[in-house]
Structure 1
């Protein structure tokens, strides 16, 4: 197809990178146009789809301008320092970005927002359609149970995840706090140890689990007197994130600039 959407993938040799490449290769309306990896990667120069036993015609490179040449959008699920380096080059070249990276500082978030004045950027801590539906449910639940219920966010991920709480858990906390008219910075409790005293009823607690190959589990607990309500999302495959990223890329195809989220992609905003 001559009108296939040219998509580049960052972190192309990682678990998520492989899933993204597989999704792009399987999509009739998309084509892989670039594959970025870190400098010194042993895979540099190899075909990006070799792990699938396929020939994409795209060589893995650490040269950002080479890897982004001919691409309209970059999908990036890497780490903050890598994403910020990619952002600068994408801004220079006019390449849009789909960012699933988590763990950004406030300064980095401000830099992403500034770049969105020049290029279209979709920023979301979780691109699973199901997770974003859950965020809508949490908003509704928090408004209905704003009094008399203690709220805790529990998340579990694989042993290799480097940030905690997860970006998804923090997004859930932000949704909950906003629905309750609070600022998450003021009411979040990230650790409990020793004699902590009674629970502050206005707080939102977070608990983090790391182990094994857990892809991503998130539960929000509303604990009242005489009842508990739990809203849970469990990921069994990273393919949900990849399909959500492709859906976001399609949404961004006619956007020249601006900062978007999955609510925009799904029509919730």
Structure 2
């Protein structure tokens, strides 16, 4: 079984990934946190999983490329510059990047894309997400992932259609936009709902994360799947064969 190296091993996700990997029979090559040697871990692992922080991502990608080791990027709150760095790394090693490693969310993304493609432009799309009070980025990476799926279904881009908040006299809703609302509180692992609101009817597609282990299980499955893949950029949909 492949040896998995974990970036962000002391964090909540890192600890659960280590537990799930051992349950699945995988070997833990080691873990790295802020100030540790990212390059040494990359050379000692068959595949890397990064759930650290956006500020550390480029260094971890560089280490993966230098070692020729595939890497799963589950860190959220990424900027356009981070995605450019991922694209550069993917020219040399296999990189799987996702805003959510849950297998359920992966399937939900496919359903959202299909619904957006088949419903007419008169159906408005709103995405509501809620997370624990300690989450620092909003909208969540998963919400953006679902928004991108909706935009793809409508053959547009999220950059062209995204509306993050409304307050005061914001005016009537602009046709074709994809709205986001972010809620924070308590210990919520992650709730996401995509609302398609049409004339006289509504469709609601959603997912509730009840335990953090669902993300760890998906991350381990993705990591083991990525071993041996040629250089390129991958997503969770390919892990499930969607």
- TM-score, normalised relative to structure 1: 0.86
Cα-Cα RMSD = 1.2
Is residue 32 of structure 1 aligned with residue 6 of structure 2?
no
Is residue 253 of structure 1 aligned with residue 212 of structure 2?
no
Q: Select the residue among 190, 207, 210 that pairs with 1:216.
A: 190
Instruction: Answer yes or no: is the 8 Å Cα contact 2:33–2:52 preserved in 1.
Output: no
The number of aligned residues is 242
1:18 corresponds to: 15
Instruction: Answer yes or no: is the 8 Å Cα contact 1:11–1:37 preserved in 2.
Output: yes
- TM-score, normalised relative to structure 2: 0.96
Q: Select the residue among 1, 6, 18 that pairs with 2:3.
A: 6
Q: Residue 8 of structure 2: SS of its match in structure 1?
A: coil
Structure with greater contact order relative to length (CA < 8 Å, sep ≥ 6): 2
Q: Distance in 2 between matches of 1:150 and 1:252?
A: 36
2:211 corresponds to: 237
Q: Distance in 2 between matches of 1:84 and 1:211?
A: 31
The unaligned stretches of length 5 or more in structure 2 are none
- Higher-Rg structure is 1
- Give the deviation of 1:181 after TM superposition: 2.1
- Give the deviation of 1:229 after TM superposition: 1.1
The unaligned stretches of length 5 or more in structure 1 are 40-61
The structure-2 alpha-carbon separation of the partners of 1:25 and 1:107, relative to structure 1 and needing over 3 Å to count, comes to same
Deviations 1:164-215 (A, max 9, x none): 1011111111111121122221211111111111111211110001111111
Q: Residue 33 of structure 2: SS of its match in structure 1?
A: coil
Instruction: Answer yes or no: is the 8 Å Cα contact 2:43–2:69 preserved in 1.
Output: no
Q: How does 1:1-269 map to 2 (within 5 A)?
A: 4-28=1-25, 30-39=26-35, 62-268=36-242
Q: Distance in 2 between matches of 1:169 and 1:142?
A: 15
